[in-house]
């Protein structure tokens, strides 16, 4: 991994050394999925625009943009969490754009609120945050809502990753939007009381903890489940035979979705190409790469999913999702972190 201090120089040099006729797009990406390479290659083939990519996590990218300021070479930013997209918008790191293609393709709930200047960011794929449970020890009806994660009947059964991880912050931000701050904090206290062990590990680790008997109930993003379902490794097949999946709150507000999305960097020197790249990500071709390559649901209107693992885990592909704007979920991040500190959720 290159040091931050050298990145701007590297990208500018790469762009400068390219031929005068060659267009270059500088991309800062938190998407660390090898299958995305096809996206970038196909965009270059279709447009002739070369992509120089720098990989980091969401927080690192936002910090780098702040540090680089007006000298930043970044043209496009790709992040994998609603809260971080919202933070980038609030911190003024994105350039709002006007694009009929994007506005027609991406539903309002999956993008930033549109202002007279334009729209700051767009979501291009989603992942549901679902419950995985030990089907030999837990009844489905005891875990079919997020609220039941805090129910005393599940005391000592729950395992989760850190409450401060963006995936959980977004889930908790959604619950806060649905329940209100007072009830959401009481719910978080109940979740802490029900934990089988201190939060640790990633989402796949939570699934494995259920399979090993360390706990009986966990929460995970769907693309981690899909990877295990598509795996040919015997241990993964054995694990998935032990657990069951439930999409929570199907009879109330629906299952929480988090989002991966993109924006044009505030100080982009190549805005037209940046917008063209975002428009490409909303195309049927690119949307199918999200679905088949990384097991994510597309956001663009009219795009059908053709991924057996996603179809199987969701009982045919259709499930009720929450409809609150993901921008509102991101806006709850600060108050959620304060609640986590008060209830002792590390």
CA pair distance 241, 104, nearest whole angstrom: 41
Is there a contact between 344 and 164 (Cβ–Cβ < 8 Å)? no
Is there a contact between 47 and 24 (Cβ–Cβ < 8 Å)? no
Token pair listed for 199: 């939060």
224 is in an annotated binding site: yes
Q: Give SS3 for 7.
A: helix
User: Cα Rg for the chain, rounded, in angstroms?
Assistant: 20
CA pair distance 52, 116, nearest whole angstrom: 31
Q: Secondary structure of 26-63 in the HEC alphabet?
A: EEEECCCCHHHHHHHHHHHHHHCEEEEEEECCHHHHHH
Which among 259, 264, 257 is positioned nearest to 119, based on CA atoms? 264
32 is in an annotated binding site: yes
Is there a contact between 228 and 244 (Cβ–Cβ < 8 Å)? no
Q: Give SS3 for 57.
A: coil
223 is in an annotated binding site: yes
- Alpha carbon distances (Å) from 26 to 92, 124, 214, 267: 19, 19, 44, 11
SS3 content of the chain, % helix, strand, coil (to 5): 50, 20, 35
Annotated binding site: 32, 223-224
Annotated binding site for Fe cation: 32, 223-224
């Amino acid at each position: 991994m290159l040091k931050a201090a050298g990145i701007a120089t590297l990208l500018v040099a790469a762009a400068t050394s390219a031929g005068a006729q060659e267009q270059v797009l500088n991309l800062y990406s938190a998407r660390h999925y090898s299958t995305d390479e096809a996206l970038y290659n196909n965009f270059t083939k279709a447009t002739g625009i070369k992509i120089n990519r720098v990989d980091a996590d969401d927080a690192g990218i936002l910090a780098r943009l702040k540090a680089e300021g007006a000298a930043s070479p970044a043209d496009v930013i790709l992040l994998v969490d609603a809260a971080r997209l919202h933070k980038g918008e609030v911190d003024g790191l994105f350039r709002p754009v006007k694009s009929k293609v994007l506005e027609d393709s991406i539903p309002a709930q999956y993008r930033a609120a549109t202002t007279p200047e334009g729209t700051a960011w767009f979501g291009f794929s989603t992942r549901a945050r679902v419950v995985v449970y030990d089907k030999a020890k837990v009844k489905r009806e005891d875990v079919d809502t997020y609220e039941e994660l805090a129910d005393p009947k599940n005391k000592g059964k729950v395992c989760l990753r850190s409450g401060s991880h963006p995936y959980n912050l977004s889930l908790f931000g959604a619950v806060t939007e649905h329940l209100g701050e007072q009830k959401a904090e009481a719910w978080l206290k109940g979740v802490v009381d029900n934990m089988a062990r201190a939060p640790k590990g990633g989402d796949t680790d939570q699934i494995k903890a259920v399979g090993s008997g360390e706990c009986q109930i966990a929460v995970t993003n769907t693309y981690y489940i899909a990877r295990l379902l598509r795996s040919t490794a015997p241990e993964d097949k054995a694990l998935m035979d032990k657990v069951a999946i439930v999409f929570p709150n199907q009879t109330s507000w629906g299952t929480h979705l988090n989002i991966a999305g993109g924006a044009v960097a505030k100080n982009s020197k190549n805005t037209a190409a940046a917008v063209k790249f975002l428009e490409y990500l909303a195309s049927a071709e690119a949307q199918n790469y999200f679905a088949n390559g990384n097991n994510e649901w597309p956001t663009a209107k009219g795009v059908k999913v053709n991924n057996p693992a996603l179809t199987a885990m969701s009982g045919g592909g259709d499930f009720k999702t929450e409809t609150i704007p993901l921008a509102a979920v991101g806006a709850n991040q600060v108050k959620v972190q304060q609640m986590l500190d008060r209830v002792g959720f590390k």
